[in-house]
């Protein structure tokens, strides 16, 4: 079907059709797994891909398409007969994308390239901006040396995979150096946006400050090759047009509905997926939303009566929803656990999140330690029966909503199923409906449904064996003692926690034991979940430990005159990997937007970051003195020692807080044993 801009006609027709569609009634109770309707999954996926602010798609937080999508999903819930159906509102920052293009002249000819952009990037004036194109390599600060880009348009290759640079840094350097706009394409050694023989257009969240970022558009790898060839031949002029509106203080929309439990209805299992999208986003995450709704339909069609109340709560703002921020994604889920449904922190048994599913559907689960045995036990059964060939299980990760739920104390599992080539079409116009294979998806959804059902039983679904093993791996007594931490207290608290769980694991299911062990789970996940600055999940002491170890190694290397080794050690400290790629103002902004007290810190507060160390000047001094052959590094060693002392104090406190958290969990587990 031809896509309709803004989706108005399509959505209106869909809502009317849904309202008239009867819901099938099951005559006899069967397992919801046997009642999964893949035709329904396909229809809902197709409907969602028809909603977009452009013919290519885009339904982003705080836009008409956001509202239309939530209305569509609530209508689907009504048609299924769910209870308490509604559309909830939240505040954030929207980004309405209507189109982008790049016209080039010179270099042997003229050409027009389709373009896209990234969430939150400021648009150009209506008729675009024009200027001579200057190739700035990968767009880092050093690559501007000797170049005059003021009043011009820069072209850069973006390479996150190998350089760890997000596009906002390219846009910031462009503006700092006076460029009117930036054209970027996925770099030659990066898989992103390379689908279709390099024809794919890509998008993502921008992490942009509206004042710091130049207007920035993305073009395909193939068109980037044409642009590079033209630049090599002769001077090229470009006109860049980005029709995008930043909607500060916009309203976001989130559908919700439920099926009341028959055993313990006061507790809930939250089923979720994100409804916002770049392009059609058939795999990420239109089909995930459809699979979530298919679970509700399967319950209704099968006659299954959930033990706990099942809440179906798709979210917006997972891709983007906050301007002038680092943590500009995961906004809808964060609002739910901190504002509209804070009660889930106590009442939610677990959160089940569907993320990207795209052929060949190799299943992976990012799952909290406390429910890992229950989830993987069900997936083991699915594998043993031949339903799925294999699966993987790993930690929750901050690139999806599962992290927000866990950090709020709600154990979560995020299901995703893709293949090696998915990153080539991730967040591109090639993540389309025709890229999916619904018959092949059915056994994967069945396995995931089985895992969800394993959580919905009158038994305690939690365990601490995985958590204990992970904690033990994170605690090195020698390192703790080396930096003056109380290793004995940490060891004693760990031993007490292990003993408390050993006794509590045999507690029979009861209202008391479920409540107390669930409280212990929440305490642990809330207090123990943190982030490395590289965005992987960690314990609260671990980034500080990385920092003080790196600082100590750098000081030792400088004392021996080995300045290159010192720089290598410092590259892993705090955000200092960006020290040589960024200008001073850009580096400082990255520190500021993750710092406590920043007004739009949002869910990044759950990262529990230690001190964010400003090592820019000392790092450049070490490099410059080393290259010049200058004798000694005494001032630089003194600077690093000062930073080391400050971060060591944080580290010792984090070790103490970790011991206190383990004691608090043990208190609750010991109480469960008395139930």
DSSP state of 271: E
Residue-level pLDDT at 67: 98
Residue-level pLDDT at 269: 98
What number is the average pLDDT over the span 248-275?
Answer: 98
What percent of the chain is predicted at pLDDT more than 70?
96
Assess whether pLDDT exceeds 90 at residue 109: no
Residue-level pLDDT at 2: 32
List of residues 6+ apart from 106 with CB closer than 8 A? 230, 234, 235, 236, 237
Q: What is the DSSP string of 509-532?
A: P-HHHHHHHHHHHHHHHHHH-EE-
What span, in angstroms and rounded, lies between the C-alpha atoms of 39 and 622? 63
What span, in angstroms and rounded, lies between the C-alpha atoms of 556 and 554? 5
Residue-level pLDDT at 333: 98
Whether cis (ω within 30° of 0) applies to the bond prior to 65 is no
8 A C-beta contact, residue 138 and residue 187: yes
Report the Cα 442 to chain-centroid distance in Å: 26
Question: What backbone phi and psi angles, to 5 degrees, belong to 212?
Answer: -90, -25
List of residues 6+ apart from 635 with CB closer than 8 A? 621
Q: Residue 108 — pLDDT band, cuts 50, 70, 90?
A: confident
Q: Residue 558 — pLDDT band, cuts 50, 70, 90?
A: very high
What number is the average pLDDT over the span 334-360?
Answer: 98
Residue-level pLDDT at 29: 66
Give the tens place of pLDDT for each residue, 75-99: 999 999 999 999 999 999 999 999 9
Assess whether pLDDT exceeds 70 at residue 174: yes
List of residues 6+ apart from 601 with CB closer than 8 A? 325, 326, 327, 593, 594, 595
Assess whether pLDDT exceeds 60 at residue 344: yes
Given CA atoms 661, 666, 668, 669 in this order, what sign does their dihedral have? positive
Residue-level pLDDT at 21: 39
Strand partners, 71: none
Give the tens place of pLDDT for each residue, 182-240: 999 999 989 999 999 999 999 999 999 999 999 999 999 999 999 999 999 999 999 99
Assess whether pLDDT exceeds 50 at residue 10: no
Residue-level pLDDT at 95: 98
Mean pLDDT of the chain: 95
Ramachandran region of residue 128, left (φ > 0), alpha (ψ -120 to 50) or beta? left
Would you call 53 helix, strand, or coil by DSSP?
Answer: coil
Chain length of the chain: 675
Residue-level pLDDT at 19: 39
Beta strands 308-312 and 264-273: pairing type? parallel
What number is the average pLDDT over the span 288-301?
Answer: 98
Beta strands 129-135 and 236-259: pairing type? antiparallel
Buried b (16+ CB within 10 A) or exposed e, 43-67: ebbbbbbbbbbbebbbbbbbbbbbb
Residue-level pLDDT at 414: 98
Residue-level pLDDT at 30: 83
Residue-level pLDDT at 328: 98
Which domains does the chain possess? 5-95+248-455 (3.40.630.10), 97-246 (3.50.30.30), 462-675 (no CATH)
Residue 16 or 659, more confident:
659
Assess whether pLDDT exceeds 50 at residue 278: yes
What percent of the chain is predicted at pLDDT more than 90?
93
Residue-level pLDDT at 9: 34
Residue-level pLDDT at 342: 98
Contacts 24+ apart (CB under 8 A), 21-27: 21/79, 23/79, 23/80, 23/81, 23/297, 23/300, 23/301, 24/300, 24/301, 25/300, 25/301, 26/300, 26/301, 26/302, 26/303, 27/303
Assess whether pLDDT exceeds 70 at residue 144: yes
Give the tens place of pLDDT for each residue, 24-53: 333 346 899 999 999 999 999 999 999 999
What span, in angstroms and rounded, lies between the C-alpha atoms of 660 and 417? 38
Would you call 239 helix, strand, or coil by DSSP?
Answer: strand
Assess whether pLDDT exceeds 50 at residue 636: yes
């Amino acid at each position: 079907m031809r896509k309709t801009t803004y989706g108005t006609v399509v959505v209106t027709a869909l809502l009317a059709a849904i309202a008239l569609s009867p819901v099938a009634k099951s005559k006899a109770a069967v397992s919801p797994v046997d009642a999964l309707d893949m035709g329904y999954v396909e229809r809902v996926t197709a409907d969602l891909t028809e909603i977009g602010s452009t013919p290519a798609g885009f339904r982003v937080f705080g836009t008409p398409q956001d509202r239309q999508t939530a209305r569509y999903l609530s209508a689907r819930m009504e048609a299924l007969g769910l209870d308490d159906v509604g559309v909830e509102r939240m505040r954030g920052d929207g980004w309405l994308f209507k189109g982008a293009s790049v016209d080039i002249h010179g270099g042997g000819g003229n050409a027009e390239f389709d373009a896209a952009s990234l969430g939150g990037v400021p648009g150009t004036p209506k008729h675009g901006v024009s200027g001579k194109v200057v190739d700035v390599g990968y767009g880092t600060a050093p690559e501007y040396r000797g170049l005059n880009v003021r009043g011009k348009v820069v072209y850069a290759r973006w390479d996150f995979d190998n350089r760890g640079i997000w596009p906002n840094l390219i846009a910031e350097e462009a503006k700092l150096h006076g460029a009117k706009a930036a054209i970027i394409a996925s770099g030659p050694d990066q898989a992103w946006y390379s689908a279709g023989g390099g024809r794919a257009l890509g998008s993502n969240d921008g992490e942009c400050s509206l004042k710091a970022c130049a207007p920035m558009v993305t073009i395909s790898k193939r068109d980037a090759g044409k642009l590079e060839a033209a630049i090599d031949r002769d001077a090229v002029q470009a006109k860049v047009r980005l029709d995008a509106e930043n909607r500060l203080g916009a309203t976001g929309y989130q559908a919700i509905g439920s099926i009341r439990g028959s055993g313990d209805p006061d507790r809930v299992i939250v089923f979720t997926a994100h409804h916002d999208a770049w392009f059609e986003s058939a795999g990420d995450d239109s089909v995930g939303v459809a699979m979530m709704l298919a679970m509700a339909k399967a319950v209704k069609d099968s006659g299954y009566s959930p033990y706990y109340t099942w809440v179906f709560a798709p979210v917006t703002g997972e891709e983007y929803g906050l301007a002038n921020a680092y943590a500009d994604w995961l906004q809808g889920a964060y609002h739910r656990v901190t504002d509209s449904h804070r009660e889930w922190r106590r009442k939610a048994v677990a959160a089940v999140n569907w993320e990207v599913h795209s052929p060949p559907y190799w299943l992976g689960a990012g799952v909290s330690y406390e429910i890992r045995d229950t989830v993987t036990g069900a997936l083991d059964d699915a594998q043993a029966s031949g339903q799925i060939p294999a699966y993987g299980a790993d930690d929750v990760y901050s690139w999806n909503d599962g992290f927000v739920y866990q950090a709020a104390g709600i154990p979560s599992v995020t299901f995703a199923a893709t293949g090696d080539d998915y990153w080539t079409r991730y967040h591109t116009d090639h993540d389309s409906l025709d890229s999916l294979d619904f018959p092949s998806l059915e056994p994967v959804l069945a396995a995931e449904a089985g895992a969800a059902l394993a959580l919905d039983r009158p038994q305690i679904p939690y365990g601490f064996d995985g958590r204990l093993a992970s904690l033990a791996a994170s605690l090195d007594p020698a390192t703790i003692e080396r930096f003056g931490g109380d290793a004995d207290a940490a060891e004693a608290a760990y031993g007490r926690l292990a003993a408390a769980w050993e006794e509590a694991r045999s507690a029979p299911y009861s209202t008391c034991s479920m409540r107390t062990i669930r409280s212990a789970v929440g305490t642990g996940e809330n207090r123990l979940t943190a982030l490395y600055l590289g965005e992987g999940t960690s314990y609260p002491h671990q980034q500080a430990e990385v920092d003080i170890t790196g600082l100590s190694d750098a000081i030792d290397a400088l004392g021996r005159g080995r300045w290159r080794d010192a720089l290598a050690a410092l590259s892993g400290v705090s955000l200092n990997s960006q020290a040589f790629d960024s200008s001073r103002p850009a580096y400082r902004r990255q520190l500021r937007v993750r710092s406590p007290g920043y007004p739009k810190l949002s869910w990044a507060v759950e990262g529990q970051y230690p001190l964010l160390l400003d090592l820019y000047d000392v790092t450049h001094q070490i490099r410059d003195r080393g290259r010049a052959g200058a004798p000694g590094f005494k001032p630089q060693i003194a600077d690093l020692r000062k930073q080391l002392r400050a971060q060591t104090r944080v580290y010792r406190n984090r070790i103490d807080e970790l011991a206190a958290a383990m004691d608090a969990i043990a208190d609750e587990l010991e109480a469960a044993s008395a139930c």
